[in-house]
Structure 1
C-alpha cells in the first residue's frame, strides 16, 4: 500500500546518524546474558589481536602435521598473513610524508592542516573554482494558492503555506538535496551539490515521491482543520550545470538548460504528479515504475523532450546496487578462482573451529565484488544458510540496517507485517532454532530493539549480545554465511558488532563476507588496518577475461576488433564498466548486430562515458580533497598518460611543490598508477573513464587554457631535447581542443585564430607524414581536422584543401573528395590564386581518373599539360611532380608505356627537387608498373624493381606496390614460392596501413601470380574480395580490371554464367581509353561466344581484343590476346588457323621473358599443322 511503512524500513532523513542507540554498557563484549554463567574459551593464534581487544578467545588450530587431509575444491595457495601485514606496513611507511611549518620550521604529519606547534596553516588556500557537474534538479510548484485567500483568513493562509513548505522541505533534505531557492510558490532543490553522489538521481526521485506522500498526508490534516486541500506539480531533470566549489559563494548554481527543463517538466505535469526527464529515467529505471508520456513540446527546446510519469519507487532491497544488478541478465562471471578459494577456506575454518570468521572483499566499484559473493553462494549451495544485508549510505535508523535485512530474511518477515507480527515471527524462529537455556525471550527483546521493532532501550553491549545469540542460534544446524554489502557505508557501531562476533561467537560456524569499496580505507582507516589479514582485494580483469565478459553480454557474436579494443581499454578490466559501455552503445544503435558480427556505425574512438558510470566516478572525484582535484584536473587535460613535470607546470602555483605527493596519494586511492613504460616519473589514469570524467568536470574555458599551457611547456621541453617533430600530432590535438572550446564560448578573436593556425600547422604536418608513409585513413583525418581550424581565406587552407582531396581520393572517399575540390576551386577563384587553381585542377583530374567520370583521355592530357605549364613557370617542383604523375597514369592506362616511363622519371626528378618522399615513391611505383607491362624483359625489370625497392625503403606503400610487381615478374620465371612471398608481404603491408583503393586492388597482381601457378581457386578468392571492396567505395578504374580478370578466371573454372556477368561488368566500368581492361574482357567474351556457337561473333570479338592490345606496348597482354584468339579458333573448329597467332604469342612471351606462359603456348602448338 502506498504510504504504508514497513516495520523494518528506515526513515529517510539526510545524513548519517552519528550516535549509537542507547548508551555503552560496561559488560565485556564476550559476556553472556545477564545472570548467565560466562564460559571460558582458549585463544586461536590465527586470529591475531583485534582493535580494542585482546587475542581472540578461540580454540587453537591443529598443526598441519597432525591435521586430516582436505580435498576441498576451495584450497588454494594463499599469501601468509604475516607477509601481507609486513608488506602493507612497509608500503604505509614509504608513503608517509612530513610537512615543514613555514613559520616555526617544525615537521608535521602530512595530514595536518595546521602546525601542531604554532598553529600556522600548513595548507596553501586554493581559490574557489567553478566546475561542470551533472546534477539532478527537483522543481515543484504549488497550484491554486491564490484561491486560498478567498476562503481563508490571511493568518490561516500563512499557516497553511508554512506547513506546506515544511512538508515539502523535509523529504528533500532527508534525501540529501540542497534547497537552492524559493520562487513564489515554487521550490527548487539540487541533488549533487555541493558534493556529487552516484545515486543523486535516485535520491531526487525518491524525494519527489516522498513529497507526493507528504502532501497526501498533509491534505488529510488541512481538510480536517481548514476545509481545504493543496495541489502541486513536480518536475525532475538531470543534466550539466556550472557550480562554484566555494559553498559560501552567493551564486552556487548557474541556472541553465537543466534547470529550465526541470521547470518546464513541472509546468507540463498534471496536478499531484511527477514528471521525470530522459537522463533521470536512464539513471533510475531499475528502481522506479513509470509510464511514458507523449514527448513534450517545451518552450525554448527545438525538439520534443521525452518524459515519464512517476508511478512508484521501489523499496531499497539488499543488493539493489549490486554491480550489474537490476539491469536484466547479470554480467557473466569469469575468473576469480583464487578469491573464491580463499572464501571457501574461510568457511571451512569457521566450521572446523565452530567460530566466526570474517573476510573483506575490497575493490573499485564495479570490479566484481557482488559477482564473487553471488558465485560463492552458488557454490556453497545447501551446505550453509546464507543471509544477506546491506549498509545504507544515508538515512536515520541505519546503524543496524544490515541486521534488519538479515533478521527479516531469516524470520520471513513481510513488509506488510505489523511490528507485533514481526516480533512473533522472530520469537517463533528462536523457539525452533534458539538456545535451550531459556535465553530466547531476552534475545528476542534485544534483537527487536536493535532492528527498530520495539521501543525498549538497551545498552549497545546488550544489543550486541542479542544479535550474537540470534546468529549463533541460526548456525546451530548448519554453517551461517552473512553476506554484507557496502561495508564502506557502515556506521562505526556496526563495525564494532562485527568485531564482537569474531571475538565472541562460540559453538557456531559463521562466516561474514563483507564487501567494500576502497573508500573504506578513508572512512574507517583503523578498521581497514585491523582487517589486513582478512582482506581479499579484487584486481581488474585481464584483457582476455574482459573480452569474455563482452562476448557473453553480446550473446557470443564477434565484435569488430577496433570496437572491442576500445571498450576493453576504456573499461580497464572493470566488468560493470564493460557492461555499461556495451549497453549504452547497443541502446544508442551505435553497436548493432550484422549477422554473426557486431559492427559499429561510428568511430570506435568516440566513446562517451555512460551516465551511470559518470555518476559513480564523479562521486569518487568529488570526495577528493581540493588539492587533489587541483592535481588530477590538469593531468586529465594532458591525457591518459602524463608526466609529473607536466602536471607540476599546469598546477596552481601554491601546489607545485606538493604535486608529487598528491600524485602518490591519488595512486594510493587508485585514481592513477605509475606508468611502467616510462622512466621519467610518468603516471597513467587507472581507467580511461576516470580521466574522461575528471576532464568533463572542468569548465571549457579552463580546459582551453590548460591545453594551451601544456603546449607551451611541451614545445619548450621538446626543443631542449631536439624532439620537436615527434609530438606534432599530439600538440596539434591540444591546440585543436583549445580552439574548439574558444569557439564554443563565443566568437573567436585574433588570439584564438592564431591558436587555430598553430594547431592546423601541426596537424597538417602530421597528416602529410601519414600520407607519405601510406597511412591514408590517418592522413585524411589529420588533414580534415587541420582544415577545420582555419578561416575560409587563410593561406594555409588554400594549400591544404587540394592535399585533402588527394588523400580522400586515394582513400576511396570520392563524394567527400568532390566536395573538397569544389571548395578549393571556389576559394582559389575568389583569391585569384593561379597556383592554387592549378593544384586543384590536378586533384580534380586524379578523382576523375579513379571514378572514370571523364572518358576523354586526350582532354585530360591537355588539362594536365596546361596546369603543368603554369607550374613550370612558377618553378613549383612538388606540384610539377604531381602533374607528371597524372601524365604517367594517363599514358599507362592507354598502354603507352614508353611515355609512361618517361613521365615516371620526371616524377622522380621533381619529387627529389621538392624533397617530397611520398612523390618519390609514387614515381618509383609508376616506373615499376611500366617495367612490368612494357617491353622491358623480365630479368631487366626484376633488376630495376629491386633497385627501386631499395630507393624507397621506409615508404611502406611504395615498397608494397613494387613487391607486387616483383611477385608477377618472378611468377613469369616460374619461381612461385618467391612470388607468393613477395605479394603476401606487399599485401600485408598495405592492409596494415588501413583501407584504401590501393589496398583493395592488390588482387590485380595476386591473381596473375596464381593464374601462372595454376591455382585458380586462390586467384578467384582474391579477386572477389577486392571487387566487393572497390564496389563499396564506388571506385571504377581498378574495378573494371578486377572484373575482367575475374571473368577470365571464372571461364577457366567453367563457371560460364558468372564469367559472362563479370565480363559484362568490366565492359560497363572500363573507360574507353583503358586498353588493358577493354582487351581483357573481350578476350574472355570471345571464348564464351565460341562456346555458345556464335563462331563469327567470337572471332570478331577476339580479333578486336588483339587489335586493342596491339596498339599498346604491353607485349605480355598482346601475347595473351593472341593465345585467346587461337583458343577461339580451335573452339569453332579451325585448328589450322590457330597456329599463326600461337606462334606470334610464343615469340612475344619469349621476348618478354615470360617462361611459364611461353611453355603453355608450346603445349598448345603440339598437334597444330605447320603453316
Structure 2
C-alpha cells in the first residue's frame, strides 16, 4: 500500500476502501501507484469515481439513487423501462452492445443487471443486509455514496425520475405491468398513482374506506408512503425550477392524498411517531381551503393529542372547525368536522362546552351516513363512557360491543383497544361477578391481543384490578408489569395517567395506602400536563378516599378543593354523572361529619346511597353504604353503622370483591 494513500485516508476505513477502488478503476484519473494528486475530501473522491463510470454504470447508479438507499434489482429494472436510458439509444437499452471486459454475475438479466454487477465490483453497491421482496436486494455502500450520486443529477432529471418511480411502484404493487415509457409529464392519470379521487382526501378517518370504482388500493402504509415520497420530490423539484401549472399541482395533491392515507394507516396500527411525520408533511403540502388540508390537519390533530402535544393538537382541530364554518363550505367535509368536534370534546375542549357523550350523540348520525366505521367506533365509545359515568354498565357494554365491531371493520387498533379497555372497566365496576369477569377479560385478550400491543395494554390494566379483587396479588402485579412494559413501547401520553391510576387501585385493595397515594400523585402530574381535567377529578376523589380511610380528614378536604372545576369539589347537581355524584357526596359526607355537621353529613350520605342504588354498579353502591356507615359511626350510631356496613358487605359478596367484603365485615366490631 503506497504510504501517501494511507496518509490521504486519514484513518477512515471507508475513505481508504474508496481510494483503493479508485486507484484500480479505469479512467478514474488516479495512478495505481498512488502517485500524483489525491483527492482531499471523501466527497471529491466519490465525485471523481462516479464521474469516471461508464455510461451504463452511471445511468444505473443514478436511477438506483432515485429508488433509495436500499432497493432491489427489479425496482431499478422497472425504472429503467420508463427512462430515456432504457429507450433505444439509451445506455441501458437491451440492444446496446455488451462490454468488452468479462462481466461479473448479474442480479437480473440484460444490461441493467450487468451494470449493477459492475457497480458492485466497483464497491459502490453491495448486497443489502436486510432481505426485501423482489430479486436481489441491494444498497449503496454508504449514505454518502447515495447522497453524492443523487445530488449530481440535475433537478429536472430528479423530478422526472421520481414521478416515473411513483407510477412504476404503484403499478408494480398493484400487480400491473409497469409502463414502457412516455414523456415525463404524461404519466399521472386523473386519479393519480395513488388511486384516490381528485378531491377525495383519502379515507375519512382511518384505513377503512373502500376504494371507489376505478381506483386501486396499495397494499401497505409503507408502500403508500413510498409512492407519496416520490410524488412529493417530483413536485418540489418542479416548483423549485418554476415549472408550475396543473400537472405540478396534480403531483402535489396526489402526494398529499397518499400521505394522508399512509398516515391514517400508521395511526390505525398505533405507530404514532411515523403517523405524525407523514401527516405533518401532508399539512405542509396542502393548501388552505383544500379539503385535503382539513383531512390532514384533523388526523394530525388526533395524533398530537394522543402524544401529549395538547395545545398544538387543539389548535389544529379548532382550525379545522373554523375552516368548516368559513367559505367555501365544501373545503371541510362534514365527517371531518364531526371528527374534530368529537376529538376536542374528549379532551374537555368542545367549543360550546358540550361533553364528549353529547357531541358523540350528535356526530354518530353523521358518521353513519358517511359509512365511516372509525367515526362510528369513536362515537359509540364516547357514548358508552358517558353511560359508564352514570353507572349504566350493561347499557355501556352493548355500545362498546358495537364500537368493537366498527373498529375491527376499520382496522383501527387504537379504537379497538379503547373499546376493549372500556369493556374491562365495566367488568370491574359493573354487575358481572368477578370470576366470570376475569374469564371474559382473558377471552378478549386471547381473541384480540395477539400482535396488538395497544389492546394488551388497555386490557391488562382492568384485568389487574379484577385479579386484585380475587386477592391474586402476584397475577395482578404481573398484569401491571406487562402493561408498564407495553406503555414504554407505545407513545400514548394518556398511558402516563392511566397506568399509575390502575396501579394505585391495586395497591389500595392490597392495603398499601401510602404507595397508592404516591401513584395517584404521579397520575395527577401527568394528567395536569395533558390538561385532562376529567382524569384529575377521578384522581382527586381516589386520593381523598385514601386520606379519609387514614383518618386525615383535613388533607382529604384540601385534596378535593385542589381539584379542577366541579370535577371533585363543587356540590353535585343534576348534570353531573351518577357515579361521580355518589362518590363525591359520600366523600363530602364523611368530611362534614368530621367537622361536626351531622345533619349535612347524613343528608349527603343518604343521597349518595340513593344515587348509587339507581346504577347497576355493586362496587359503587357498596362504597356509598360504607361512606354512610362512617358518617353514622362518627355520629355515635354504632348499630346503624353496622347495618349500613352489612348492606355494603352484601354488595361486595355478590360481586366477588374479597377485599371489600372483608373490610365491610370488620364493621361488626364497631363499638356501641
TM range (shorter): 0.7 to 0.9
Which of these residues, 41, 44, 47, is aligned with residue 622 of structure 1? 47
Aligned to 1:714: 169
Alignment of 1:705 with 2:201, yes or no, is no
1:771 deviates by 2.5
Q: Is the 8 A contact 2:629 2:645 kept in 1?
A: yes
Q: Confirm or deny: 8 A CA contact 1:888 1:904 kept in the other structure.
A: yes
Counterpart residue number, 1:606: none
Residue 26 of structure 2: aligned partner: none
What CA distance in whole angstroms lies between the structure 1 residues aligned with 2:291 and 2:332? 12
Deviation digits for residues 312-356 of structure 1 (CA, Å, limit 9, x no counterpart): xxxxxxxxxxxxxxxxxxxxxxxxxxxxxxxxxxxxxxxxxxxxx
What is the number of equivalent residue pairs in this alignment? 583
Pairing 1:1012–2:481 present: no
Are residues 1011 and 759 of structure 1, via their aligned partners in 2, closer, same or farther at CA, if it must alter by over 3 Å? same
Alignment of structure 1 residues 748-767 onto 2, 5 Å = 748-767=244-263
Partners of 2:71 and 2:7 lie apart in 1 by 27
For 2:42 and 2:590, the matched residues in 1 are separated by: 70
From 494, 498, 509, the equivalent of 1:997 is: 494
Contact 1:938 1:969 in 2 (8 A): yes
Unaligned runs of 5+ in 2: 24-29, 93-109, 177-216, 569-574
TM-score for both structures, normalised by structure 2: 0.72
Does the Cα contact within 8 Å between 2:267 and 2:275 map onto a contact in 1? yes
RMSD: 4.3
Write the deviation string for residues 175-222 of structure 1: whole angstroms up to 9, x where unpaired: xxxxxxxxxxxxxxxxxxxxxxxxxxxxxxxxxxxxxxxxxxxxxxxx
Name the larger-Rg structure. 1
Aligned with 2:629: secondary structure?
A: helix
8 Å CA contact 2:269, 2:412 repeated in 1: no
What corresponds to 1:960 in structure 2? Answer: 457
Deviation at 1:685, TM superposition (A): 3.6
Look up the match of 2:619: 1116
Q: C-alpha distance in 2, partners of 1:909/1:522?
A: 62
| 8 Å Cα contact 1:1129-1:1135 kept in structure 2 | yes
Distance 1:631 1:909, change over 3 A: closer
| SS class of match (1:851) | coil
CA distance change for structure 1 residues 731 and 1065 in 2, over 3 Å: closer, same or farther?
farther
Q: Which residue does the alignment assign to 1:519? A: 19
In 1, the alpha carbon distance for the partners of 2:263 and 2:362 equals: 29
Cα contact 2:541–2:584 (8 A) shared by 1: yes
What residue number does 1:837 align with?
A: 334
Determine if contact 1:621/1:629 at 8 Å carries over to the other structure.
no
Contact 2:225 2:262 in 1 (8 A): yes
- Check whether the contact 2:306–2:492 (CA below 8 A) recurs between aligned residues: no
TM-score normalized with structure 1 length = 0.44
Question: Secondary structure of 1:519's match?
Answer: helix
Residues 1137 and 873 of structure 1: is their aligned pair in 2 closer, same or farther, counting only changes over 3 Å? Answer: same
Could you tell me how far apart the structure 2 residues matched to 1:906 and 1:692 are? Answer: 51
Using the alignment, how far apart are the partners of 2:50 and 2:297 within structure 1?
48
1:1144 is aligned to: 647
Q: Is the 8 A contact 1:1010 1:1016 kept in 2?
A: yes
Q: Distance in 1 between matches of 2:603 and 2:564?
A: 16
Q: Secondary structure at the match of 1:994?
A: coil
Supply the distance in 2 between the matched residues of 1:778 and 1:1057 (Cα, whole angstroms).
48
Q: 2:480 pairs with 983, 988, 1001, which one? A: 983
| Match for residue 646 of structure 1 among 57, 62, 75 | 75
Local SS of the residue matching 2:347 = helix
Of 327, 338, 344, the residue aligned with 1:847 is: 344
Counting only pairs closer than 5 Å after superposition, residues 38-49 of structure 1 correspond to structure 2 as none
Cα distance, 1:781–1:1061 mapped onto 2, change above 3 Å: farther
Query: Is 1:775 aligned to 2:271, yes or no?
Result: yes
Q: CA deviation at 1:1104?
A: 6.1
2:668, 2:233 → 1: CA distance?
71
Shift of 1:733: 2.5
Deviation at 1:972, TM superposition (A): 0.8
Distance in 1 between residues matched to 2:521 and 2:123, nearest whole Å: 51
* Cα distance change on mapping 1:368 and 1:780 into 2, 3 Å: closer
Alpha-carbon displacement from aligned partner over 1:284-306 (angstroms, at most 9, x marks no partner): xxxxxxxxxxxxxxxxxxxxxxx
Whether 2:441 is the aligned partner of 1:945: answer yes
User: Following TM superposition, by how much is the alpha carbon of 1:970 offset from its aligned partner in structure 2, in angstroms?
Assistant: 1.6
Structure 2 vs 1, CA of residues 525 and 842 (structure 1 numbering), >3 Å: closer, same or farther? closer
| Shift in Å, 1:1158 | 0.9
Q: Quick one: structure 1 residues 966 and 1005, their matched pair in 2 at CA, closer, same or farther if it must change by over 3 Å?
A: same
What do residues 598-645 of structure 1 show as CA deviations (whole Å, max 9, x unaligned)?
xxxxxxxxxxxxxxxxx9443233222423665544434333322234
Using a 3 Å threshold, how does the CA distance of structure 1 residues 711 and 1140 change in structure 2: closer, same or farther? same
Question: Any residues of structure 2 matched to 1:736-885 within 5 Å, and which?
Answer: 736-746=232-242, 748-792=244-288, 794-797=290-293, 799=295, 801-829=297-325, 830=327, 832=329, 836-837=333-334, 839-851=336-348, 863-869=359-365, 871-872=367-368, 878-885=374-381
- Match for 2:656 among 1153, 1156, 1160? 1153
Classify 1:1004/1:740 alpha carbon distance in 2 versus 1 (closer, same or farther; 3 Å).
farther
Give the aligned partner of residue 599 of structure 1.
none
Q: CA deviation at 1:1142?
A: 1.5
Q: Is the 8 A contact 1:881 1:907 kept in 2?
A: yes
- Distance in 1 of aligned mates of 2:607 and 2:34: 89
Deviation at 1:941, TM superposition (A): 2.4
Structure 1 residue 965: deviation in Å? 1.9
Q: Is the 8 A contact 2:260 2:295 kept in 1?
A: no
Instruction: Indicate which of 1060, 1064, 1067 corresponds to 2:561.
Output: 1064
